[in-house]
Structure 1
């Protein structure tokens, strides 16, 4: 039995359900259930009354949690001491839009706080990186989380939200999306991505007559095309470096604008590792204004 099972038990008691504990511990509900059954086997007594549809903790479950809560906090404090250096290497997948902003700042943080930890970035699209994480070829990946929430076989940690915006050529004077899509060609962002599908749904609703004349898989390529006056597009908010190199008009889509959730994804068994913990600290240290984030 692992020490982390005590944390899971405490999470079940605090949240009141296996599903709530699963969300807090970044594992699936079935994994929480399995851990609790292993604890019951270890103590030789039931920890929950499973009568009906609810799961009620027994007095023993509360006693165990009360006894172990303070020691577990002390162990966690030892593990998180700033003087403790994390070593080794980490294979980290990163989608294209995060490579020029989030990745450099996070790696700089890790170099400063954990110089013996080597981050090995791997570029890819979300679907490719998710497959690599599941297969164990990557330790973690920074991806766009599917709007459905993503696979329960993986642990998801939200990093930032990025709104979709309308990009127009710098010389465009119109403000209304319907007019812009009438006067310019639609440069469609990759329809195989969550952001591309969200953008297409928005265009169909607000500019139903628009038809894409080209499709591009790179946000940077879309920004460059729009900057050259070749069309308009809807993509996630580009970072300042992109628009500095290729000036465009960035128009907010208003209330209810679609947004993508950028998350750190890993295998549930690795989510509580010290390496991923310091990586999450590094990602949280990146200023929101650097990322053009809707929330960070």
Structure 2
């Protein structure tokens, strides 16, 4: 049994005769009759009752017709989707991201990517930077959006592309006196209790932020540890202390938090795109290109 036999069979059912089906298929009537005969030989029974005029489906034919139609429909969908994947317009793309990317990096990039690739399914997976390499190696994600301070481990089977570097801003309670200033020093900022994030044994990011402040001559006191950045900013908004964030995180953020430049911190956070080395996916390339365009337009 093959797809041609199914197509010819369904055409005969819908046209009402082999002769009319042949005209609609632009083939000779003998070609249609031969395909039907082969199909019936395969099943060992007739699909049509040819003693009646017009001929009717047998019980086998009545069972087989709707299922053959569905199989042909699935084959067409498979063909369209496979062709779409081949030219990079359809498919599935796994995106791993750190939660801080939700503030501006990820939404803007997704909007641009979706505009040109509306039929691609995006599987969004929230995962800390330190876990993204393993997810890529396992095939769980295709792109990792991560954030690092200073040097970081780079497995040789992966590629790392620094997409942007962001200065740190102090996140302060909106009613704190420092929130009214255009900028603060690390020493001034460190007078507030420090809220460290993310709280995870594998992530050094929080301690690296503390080290950045110490390198600037401050001595921050870690008063709270938050599992992720949204919680940390909620604690800041509640007036419990301050924390450091990348500049993009200040966009469209909380009304109860002020974001102020720290003028004596030279260190920045690198926002990095991780992919598998020698990645050939057109969708991965298109997603990264969308990211580049979003930030070149800013």
State whether TM-score is above 0.5: yes
Deviation at 1:146, TM superposition (A): 6.2
Aligned length: 203
Match of 2:94 in 1: 91
For 1:187 and 1:179, how far apart are their aligned partners in 2?
15
1:147 aligned onto 2:150:
yes
Q: Note closer, same or farther for the CA distance 1:90–1:209 as it changes in structure 2 (3 Å cut).
A: closer
Q: Per-residue CA shift, 1:267-290, capped at 9, x if unaligned?
A: 1131x4211111111111224797
**1-side partners of 2:165 and 2:188: how far apart?**
28
- Once the two structures are superposed, the pairs formed by residues 188-203 of structure 1 within 5 Å of their partners are 188-190=196-198, 192-193=202-203, 195-203=205-213
* Cα gap change, 1:180 to 1:111, in 2 (>3 Å): closer
The Cα of 1:200 is off from its aligned counterpart by: 0.9
**Structure 1 residue 230: Cα displacement:** 1.0
1:240 to 251, 255, 265: 251
Describe the shift of the 1:277–1:212 C-alpha distance in structure 2 as closer, same or farther (beyond 3 A): same
User: What is the RMSD of the two structures over their aligned residues, measured on CA atoms?
Assistant: 2.5
Alignment partner of 2:238 out of 215, 218, 228: 228
Superimposed CA distance per residue, residues 244-292 of structure 1 (whole angstroms, 9 cap, x where no aligned partner):
x33323222225522111111111131x4211111111111224797xx
After superposition, where does 1:107-186 map in structure 2 within 5 Å?
Answer: 107-145=110-148, 147-149=150-152, 150-174=154-178, 175-182=184-191, 184-186=192-194
Flag as ranges the 4+ runs of structure 1 deviating above 6 A: none
Shift of 1:194: 5.1
Larger Rg: 2
Instruction: Give distance in 2, aligned partners of 1:232 and 1:154.
Output: 35
Residues 196 and 235, structure 1, Cα contact 8 Å, conserved in 2: no
Tell me what 2:108 maps to: 105
Q: Which residue of 1 aligns with 2:285?
A: 277
Task: Give the Cα separation in 2 of the matches to 1:164 and 1:203.
Answer: 11
Distance 1:179 1:92, change over 3 A: closer
2 CA distance for matches of 1:130 and 1:161? 20
8 A contact 1:95–1:124 mirrored in 2 = yes
Separation in 1, partners of 2:269, 2:229: 14
Check conservation: 2:213, 2:265, Cα contact below 8 A. no
Unpaired stretches in structure 2, ≥5 consecutive residues: 1-86, 179-183
